[in-house]
Amino acid sequence: MNKNNLLNHCLSILQTIKDDEANLQKLLEFMEEEFLSQTPVIQLFPDYKLHIDEKYRPAVKEIAEYLEMGHTVFVNPETLETDNLPRNYEEFADGYDFDFGKVQNWIEIEPLDSRESFEIMQSFVENLPEGKEKNKLANAIEGHKPFANFNRLIHNSEEREKWFKHRTCHLEKYVIDNHLDEISNK
């Protein structure tokens, strides 16, 4: 059977159980166990963006980019305008201009804490294929200064681009899962 015939056969079976919640649950559990346990995390939720209203996508992307830099992000829920503040803005030269009055009634989104950031890094390493790269990165995050060690290795790794996609995907998902309701309901 070719790929299209296989897919059509699978879909026809799925069609026969579409109204049977117990069988659908059983199928879901089987598929997650059988297929997702071996799939890199980046592929576990590539279409989560499809589940949000189109008008929120640019804001989610922008918020995730600022969170990636460690910034606090402020979102105007009416206009979806964003502003951001670096984590240690007090350390910048005098005259750092930020209008706190402007964002007074906006939604504030703090950057991820180190535990959450570590979990993203850890999930990336766990889902790499077995081999030298995975071993080096796993050792880096298990030791002293895991963030510094990981960053040093990943920037010289063939997995570098996958890491950036993985992190971006997780941050956008984080924004959607934890803040989209608040942004869209105000």
Question: Rounded CA gap, 38 and 56, in Å?
Answer: 31
Give CA 186 to chain center in angstroms.
24
pLDDT along the chain (186 residues), means of 10: 76 84 80 57 51 86 94 93 83 68 92 94 92 91 93 91 92 91 80
100 and 21 co-located in one domain: no
58 and 101 co-located in one domain: yes
163 and 140 co-located in one domain: yes
Domain range for 185: 42-186
- Kindly state the tokens that stand for 182: 């608040």
Crossing angle of helices 114-126 and 146-154, in 10° steps, is: 50
Distances (CA, A) of 123 to 30, 134, 179: 21, 11, 22
User: What is the predicted pLDDT for the residue at 39?
Assistant: 41
59 and 91 co-located in one domain: yes
74 and 146 co-located in one domain: yes
CB 182 within 8 A of CB 107: yes
> How many structural domains compose the chain?
2
- Kindly state the tokens that stand for 63: 């918020």
19 and 76 co-located in one domain: no
137 and 56 co-located in one domain: yes
- Kindly state the tokens that stand for 147: 């963030």
pTM, 2 dp:
0.69
What are the pLDDT digits (tens) for 68-92?
999 999 999 999 999 998 877 666 6
123 and 140 co-located in one domain: yes
